[in-house]
Amino acid sequence: MDPKYMQIYKTMKQRILDGIYKEDNQKLPNEVTLCQEFDCSRMTIKKALDLLVMDGLIYRKKGKGSFVLPPGALSSKINIQEDHIVGLTNSSEKNVTSKILDFQLKFADETIANKLCIQKNDPVYDIHRLRLIDQKPYVLERTYMSTSLIPGLDMDVLNHSVYDYIEQTLNFKIAGFLRITRADCSNPSDQKYLELKDTEPVLEVEQVAYLDNGTPFEYSFSRHRYDRFEFFSRSMRHI
Amino acid sequence: MDPKYMQIYKTMKQRILDGIYKEDNQKLPNEVTLCQEFDCSRMTIKKALDLLVMDGLIYRKKGKGSFVLPPGALSSKINIQEDHIVGLTNSSEKNVTSKILDFQLKFADETIANKLCIQKNDPVYDIHRLRLIDQKPYVLERTYMSTSLIPGLDMDVLNHSVYDYIEQTLNFKIAGFLRITRADCSNPSDQKYLELKDTEPVLEVEQVAYLDNGTPFEYSFSRHRYDRFEFFSRSMRHI
DNA sequence: CAGTGGTCTAGACCACAAT
DNA sequence: TTGTGGTCTAGACCACTGT
């Protein structure tokens, strides 16, 4: 059962997407009116509308009111929302398959140990996967995870979703990530697996993912085909 | 004068960065204690700590408490926080200069008109700038802005900061943006101005920027040197 | 002036965690 | 059971907008 502010947020979001508030120059009803409609206090309405502001769907002006913002552009490429946690397997894409190129254990070097908050030379999984969508190569992933934190990883898990294994089998919760995104020249391995020409680049995402107790559990590099992935983000200053 | 929750947020942020809460296993004082310290209600403390959660600096667990998260990695490259509004001129980088490659008026095509919410064939500025840091090329920008919304743009403004002109001279407020980030092959123009080899890629950012009244005022493409820019983002699920 | 959102309070009840 | 954060209320006062 969602809390009340979340229900109101979802209802309002759907209304905005349905274009309900187009009529009065994109203006939403004022807060007191919404309080009456949803039978709640102003604080609860504000919490719901603040979520819409964070989504970039509305903006609010003291003394004026709250207004729907024009929608952003769409794109035919795979679209990664910056604030999305889900792995590729759980994205809106269908037909995601994985090809495991390499799966072995190694001793953590300084960098990996540092990122995963473990000791140098502690054992880690070293996973090399190619992810395909509709049989076409999309991304080449190099992933390091601590074996003691994430026990029992095997080919079967890797062929499906590691994130599902962590959340459903190990019953951990994934809390978030830290990401660095950059462009890079493709190397021979990229060219081979992603079927790129040697002049074509990749979009690299370096990521540390955290569990809900704050422990980093994954350090990875994902090299995406430059022409099939883009990152999407919205951000609104408090106004 | 900042509101109380903002002052508390800033104070707590500084304390975290100073490592004040390292002692007790990264645990923050509980909310009631903080209420007493800052002489405020729990709602106000929560609002302040929620900002720290959004910054990815702390996480909070029902029944347990609030804890500082390990800090992210640093990098020697120019680091663009996903939720930053400021232009390059106002970033932490010093010695930012601009070289105006082209500055003219044109009729908005369908795409530009659509992004800027104006009519097709309305006049727009078409600005081509090379931005340098310490005399080294970093980014090539192609910017479109409506002449009626942003009047009086000239070479002098372009040589300094367009954002400063909009906020300080025109007295508008910049509210936020919508961004799409992707990798791309460099074209001859990129190679010439950014001093890239023809095999080297760029990091392209397509952006629509909005004023605080919801009006889009800028549509731009920024093509960054792949080896001097990276995007940084943190995201934490509500836990 | 009236209308609007922004902040803030002092409490209440709940759900979850550890003991 | 105790301690913790999550939600929610019913009101208050303030600052900003437009008439």
The pLDDT tens digits of the residues spanning A122-131 come to 999 999 999 9
Nucleotides of C under 7 A from a protein CB: 3-12, 15-18
A226 contacts in chain B (CB < 8 Å): 182-185, 201
A166 touches chain B (CB under 8 A): no
More confident residue, A79 or B182: B182
Per the DSSP assignment, residues forming a β-bridge with B146 are B124
A15 Cβ contacts chain C strand, under 7 Å: no
Cβ <8 Å between A229 and B182: yes
Residue B18 has pLDDT above 80, yes or no: yes
Query: Considering CB atoms only, which of B181, B229, B236 is closest to A230?
Result: B181
Nucleotides of D under 7 A from a protein CB: 3-12, 15-18
Is there a contact between A48 and A63 (Cβ–Cβ < 8 Å)? Answer: no
Q: How far is the CA of B62 from the C1' of C6 (A)?
A: 27
Residue A73 has pLDDT above 90, yes or no: no
Q: What is the pLDDT of residue A127?
A: 96
Query: Considering CB atoms only, which of B70, B117, B231 is closest to A117?
Result: B70
pLDDT confidence tier of residue B128, bands split at 50, 70 and 90:
very high
pLDDT confidence tier of residue A79, bands split at 50, 70 and 90:
low
A76 touches chain B (CB under 8 A): no
Q: What is the pTM of this model?
A: 0.82
Q: What is the pLDDT of residue B117?
A: 80
The span from the first CA to the last CA of chain A, in angstroms, equals 31
Q: Which of A167-171, A173-177, B72-76, B128-132 has the lowest mean pLDDT?
A: B72-76
Cβ <8 Å between A202 and B183: yes
Q: How far is the CA of A164 from the C1' of C18 (A)?
A: 28
Residue A85 has pLDDT above 90, yes or no: no
Min CA distance, A33 vs chain B (Å)? 22
Cβ <8 Å between B175 and A237: yes
Give the integer Cα–Cα distance in Å for B209 and B167.
13
Share of chain B above pLDDT 70, in %: 88
Q: Which residues contact B2 (CB under 8 A, 6 or more apart)?
A: B10
Cβ <8 Å between A201 and B185: yes
Residue B61: phi and psi, rounded to 5, are -130, 125
pLDDT confidence tier of residue A236, bands split at 50, 70 and 90:
low
Which range in A92-96, A153-157, B73-77 is most confidently predicted, on average pLDDT? A153-157
Query: Considering CB atoms only, which of B117, B208, B226 is closest to A183?
Result: B226
User: What digits encode the pLDDT tens for the residues B176-227?
Assistant: 788 888 999 999 999 999 999 999 999 999 998 888 777 888 999 999 999 9
**DSSP secondary-structure letter at A113?**
H
Q: How far is the CA of A62 from the C1' of D19 (A)?
A: 17
Cβ <8 Å between B185 and A226: yes
Q: How far is the CA of A184 from the C1' of D1 (A)?
A: 57
B3 Cβ contacts chain C strand, under 7 Å: yes
